[in-house]
């Protein structure tokens, strides 16, 4: 379990993390989302004691991470896959980590096999591709077989098979009762992997809820209506608009409705005698819900004008 209480980090006049309080529970994959500069990496660094909080506390299993005698056995983390000496082989990198925490050599071979690097473990880490570097970083996080795991953008550089492997790994670790805290910008992957989401913006907590709850709260949930007679659908759209429903004609014979339910739209069509071929809900995507949640929390906004 990870417990943050009033966690705050300031750099001069800039507040990177502001009064962040939350609990990352075991047995779940908790996704950590936010725009660039939101404070995600700073939060993870404070949990691991790499940055000292200005105020508040970050505890791992009830203790500060720096106070564990063998910290890799308590929490494993991948924060930066490039944080490896480029001249050291992958196996030797892990052996050095293992020796520092009293972890047996056989565990190094186990995790190399788990991440698929056994055949290249003798090669220098500086020759590894980005994806191989990510796998080595994941092996390091798993090395101490810890109950708490944190991953910052773990699928960067991985091919589709690798992305699926990471997804299944995260789910299996949580199923074992471990605490799994994952930061990512890939909304589609978070939607498929995470049980719960923590969303921050400008260092402040925006949302902390199950994925299903965040999706259900999106205002962009819509209903698709299709029929063989475009004019009849326009009549339906005008009728619903008078009741506060937004009806967009995306093509002749197809509407997208917002602000109503399938039942209400179907009853209105029945009363007007409008023949329908489809009346179905369109679930909001995590990307849509995320964009709504963070609309006012983006630090860096690029111009949408054309380049000259």
Residue 124 pairs with which residues in a beta bridge?
89
Burial 144-155 (b: 16+ CB within 10 A, else e): bebbbbbbbbbb
Is there a contact between 76 and 148 (Cβ–Cβ < 8 Å)?
Answer: yes
pLDDT beneath 50: ranges in the chain: 300, 302-308
**Per residue in 248-259, pLDDT tens?**
898 999 998 988
Map tokens 């106070």 to a residue.
67
Q: Return the structure tokens found at 99.
A: 């020796």
CA distance 93 to 108: 10
pLDDT of residue 221: 67
The model scores a pTM over 0.85: no
CA distance 166 to 170: 6
Q: Which domains does the chain have, with CATH numbers?
A: 2-216 (3.40.50.300), 222-282 (3.30.70.790)
Residue 192 burial (CB count, 10 A): 14
pLDDT of residue 156: 86
pLDDT of residue 297: 65
pLDDT of residue 306: 45
Instruction: Give just the sign of the alpha carbon dihedral 44, 50, 54, 55.
Output: positive
pLDDT of residue 298: 63
HEC string for the chain: CEEEEEEEEEECCEEEEEEEEEEECCCCEEEEECCCCCCHHHHHHHHCCCCCCCEEEEEECCECHHHCCCHHHCEEEECCCCCCCCCCEHHHHHHHHHHHCCCCHHHHHHHHHHHCCHHHCCCEHHHCCHHHHHHHHHHHHHCCCCCEEEEECCCCCCCHHHHHHHHHHHHHHHHCCCEEEEECCCHHHHHHHCCEEEEEECCEEEEEEEHHHHHHCCCCCEEEEECCCHHHHHHHHHHHHCCCCEEEEEECCEEEEECCCHHHHHHHHHHHCCCCCEEEEECCCHHHHHHHHCCCCCCCCCCCCCCC
> How distant is the alpha carbon of residue 52 from its chain centre?
24
């Amino acid at each position: 379990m990870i417990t943050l209480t009033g966690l705050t980090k300031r750099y001069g006049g800039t507040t990177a993390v502001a009064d962040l309080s939350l609990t990352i529970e075991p047995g779940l994959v908790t996704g950590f989302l936010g725009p660039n500069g939101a404070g995600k990496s700073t939060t993870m660094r404070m949990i691991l004691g790499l940055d000292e909080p200005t105020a508040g506390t970050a505890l791992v299993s009830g203790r500060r991470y720096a106070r564990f005698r063998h910290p890799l056995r308590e929490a494993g983390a991948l924060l930066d896959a490039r944080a490896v000496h480029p001249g050291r082989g992958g196996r030797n990198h892990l052996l050095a980590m293992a020796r520092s925490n009293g972890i047996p050599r056989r565990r190094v071979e186990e995790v190399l096999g788990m991440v698929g690097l056994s055949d290249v473990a003798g090669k220098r880490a500086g020759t590894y591709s980005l994806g191989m570097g990510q796998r080595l970083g994941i092996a390091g996080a798993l090395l101490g077989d810890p109950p708490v795991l944190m991953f910052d953008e773990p699928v960067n550089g991985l091919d589709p098979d690798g992305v699926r492997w990471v997804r299944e790994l995260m789910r299996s670790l949580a199923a074992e009762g471990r605490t799994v805290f994952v930061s990512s910008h890939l909304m589609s992957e978070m939607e498929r992997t995470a049980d719960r989401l923590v969303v921050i913006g400008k260092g402040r907590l925006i949302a902390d809820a199950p994925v299903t709850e965040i999706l259900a709260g999106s205002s962009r949930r819509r209903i698709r209506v299709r029929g063989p007679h475009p004019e009849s659908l326009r009549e339906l759209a005008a009728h619903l608009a008078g009741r506060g429903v937004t009806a967009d004609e995306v093509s002749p014979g197809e509407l997208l409705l917002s602000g109503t339910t399938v039942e209400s739209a179907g009853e209105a069509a029945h009363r007007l005698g409008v023949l329908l071929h489809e009346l179905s809900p369109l679930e909001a995507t995590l990307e849509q819900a995320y964009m709504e949640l963070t609309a006012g929390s983006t630090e860096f906004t690029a111009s949408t004008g054309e380049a000259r």
